[in-house]
Amino acid sequence: MAVQPALSFVRGSQAPIVAQLREFVRFPSVGAQPKHNADVARCAEWLAKHLRGLGMPRVRVMPTERHPIVRADWLKAPGRPTILIYGHYDVQPADPIDKWTTPPFGGEVRGENLFGRGACDDKGQMFAHVKAIEALLRTRRALPVNVKCLFEGEEESGSTSLLPFLKRHRDELAADVAALSDSPMATLDRPAITYAMRGSLSLTLTVRGPSRDLHSGLFGGAIHNPLQALSEIVASMHRSGRVAIEGFYDDVRDWGANERAFMARHGPSDAAILEQAGAECGWGEAGYSLYERTTIRPALTINGISGGYNGAGGKAVIPTVANAKVSFRLVPDQDPRKIEQLFQRHLRKVTPPTVRVAVKTEFMARPALIDRRHPVFRAAAFACRRGFGKPAAFLRCGGTIPVISMLKQQLGVPVVLLGFGRPDARIHSPDERLHLPTFFKSVSTCIYFLTAAARMNAMQADRAREFAT
């Protein structure tokens, strides 16, 4: 199937496509914040309507316990492979909002970038697949493969409704491979095919002290302060750049010289990572590159601490409670459930008798590792080379997409991650942006990918070997 008409269609439709993207980004579809529940629902309806408009049959907005899942199927290529395309239309909270140059949900275009929370993660990246489908449908009235779209609204809050959804609709979602774009490029002009992601375990730790806020003048020195106890507990979790929880590294897989050399060839240098981070120096576990520390080594990050008075001026208070948001990033063969137990055991060991701690598990996801020898990776590599004019890098990613292990476990499919997110996209940060020339290259890549996937005769389920978890 020739791709040129589809590519030309996209070239000729850039203005309306950007207008559609801006509409999409303007929904404040923050799945984690209940105040945005209605915005999330409206965003799902918009997406469904959009899919219907471009000719996808069987478009449905399917309710879940929390946010709806948008589904669409095009299944008119019997005998051809079926590709499940996953994306998420929910976005991270926009905080700290005052650090944005333009409103996070304004969808403003300045220069070559479209600014907005979710512009890159994941609205822009998933829209590349949508526009590839549209271009093929409009120019050929058919797709080269069968396609099932699965767009969820809870990715940024742990994809909790997705697992029961996958279980309930397992047969309906059967596919040969799953493809998704929700990961970074290797460099500003080189896409990445991601074959490993870290798992995650997120917890809220609460330390309680006196039954009410106390005057720190009257009681300071005689009553333990939950903020201080929390700080001491948090401090106990690291030593010399390593996680100091007993047993934490027991199941961490050691990688041989071959894999580490492959990683060094494909992955970013320390300098590149520091530049991306806007940091002057690295930190962490001795004996590993920064790329290794964020991919084949686990990490523990405190995402937030709150307690007491933090407004203007001061307030002489010993607060009754202090909270920390704790998140682990896990690697093969760590099990989030076991790490949760080790964390609880550590807390029992370090918590002084003067305060009480409670832990709420927010979500967990196993690490994911895909066999990069699967033939779908050849199709992906070919598509990237055509779409971007550069060979893709094969990368591990430090982030977590819980859906990857879910798709693998529930549907038994390998997952190919086509990373179209520029390193300077500032995902999860103020002034998140989508670089529009890159976006249009990613649309072309998706067109090539669907076309190449159709030609792959080797895409049998029995080839979907994965070399780990």
Cβ distance to a second copy smaller for residue 234 or 379: 234
- Give the nearest distance from C-beta 440 to a second copy in angstroms: 24
Residue 349 vs 373, nearer CB to a second copy: 349
Least distance (Å) from a second copy to the CB of residue 262? 19
Sign for the pseudo-dihedral over CA of 419, 201, 151, 437: negative
| CB nearer to a second copy: pick between 326 and 392 | 326
Angstrom CA distances, 446 to 360, 386, 468, stand at 40, 10, 27
Name which of 92 and 444 has its Cβ closer to a second copy: 92
Q: Residue 299 carries which side chain, given as an amino acid letter?
A: A
C-beta separation of 419 from 413 below 8 A: no
Q: Would you tell me how many other CB atoms lie within 10 Å of the CB of residue 221?
A: 8
Alpha carbon distances (Å) from 263 to 295, 397, 469:
10, 11, 19
Reading the block at residue 444, the tokens are: 């072309």
Cβ-based neighbours of 82, under 8 Å, separated by 6 or more: 75, 145, 146, 147, 148, 174, 175, 176
CB of 451 to a second copy, least distance (A): 31
User: Rounded to whole angstroms, how far apart are CA atoms 201 and 452?
Assistant: 37
- For the bound state, the minimum distance from the C-beta of residue 246 to a second copy, rounded and expressed in Å, comes to 19
Shortest reach from residue 395's CB to a second copy, in Å: 11
Q: Residue 60 or residue 238: which is nearer to a second copy going by CB?
A: 238
**With respect to a second copy, which residue has the nearer C-beta, 157 or 445?**
157
Nearest alpha carbon to residue 445 among 195, 129, 139: 129
Minimum distance, C-beta of residue 13 to a second copy, in the bound complex (Å): 32
